[in-house]
Amino acid sequence: MTISAVFVGNFLNNHQSTVAQSDINNMQDNTSSSTTFTSNSSGYQRGTVSLSGANLSQPHILKIETSATKLNGKIIVNGKVVKNLNNKTTEIDLSRYLSVGEHQVEISANYSPAMSPITVEFNAPNSNVTQQTSGNGNLKYQLDISVR
C-alpha cells in the first residue's frame, strides 16, 4: 500500500497558508513515515493517493471541517456532485464511488471569514491525508485516487 501527497499551488500575490500532511502505513513491512508540506499559495491544491482494491469494502472517509461562519461548496467525484457543503463539518464515505481504476475527487468551496482555517482530511485503510488552508475564502482541492 502506498500513498503520496503532491500539492500544487498557483503562486499568486495573496497569502493563503497551506499545510499538507500524509501518513503512510505499510502493513507488509510495518513501516510508517510522515511528510509535511508548508507553503504560501493561492488557488489550487492537489493530492494523489494509491489504494488497494482489496480494502474497498471498508470506509474511505473524506471530511471537510472549518470554523468559518459561512461555507458553501460541493464535493464532486468523477464529474458528479455527490455532496453539497454548507455545514462546519461534512463527512462522506467515498468507498461506494470507488472501484479499481483512476478516480478524481474535487472539492470547491467559498467560506468566510476568509482567515478561518479549513481542513480536508481523507482517511482510508492504512492511509491518511490531511490538508489545512486559510487565507482567501476559497478552497479548490483535487484528490486523485488510484485503486489497484
pLDDT for residue 2: 37
pLDDT for residue 42: 52
pLDDT for residue 14: 35
Sorted by sequence, the CB contacts under 8 Å of residue 87 that are 6+ apart come out as 71
pLDDT for residue 44: 79
Residue spans of the chain under pLDDT 50: 1-41
Distance CA 111, CA 119 (A): 12
pLDDT for residue 43: 61
| CA-based max dimension of the chain | 45
pLDDT for residue 1: 41
* Secondary structure, 3-state, 69-118: CEEEEEEEECCEEEEEECCCEEEEEHHHHCCCEEEEEEEEEEEECCCCCE
pTM above 0.85, yes or no: no
On average, the pLDDT of the chain sits at: 78
Closest CA to 2 of 42, 48, 46: 48
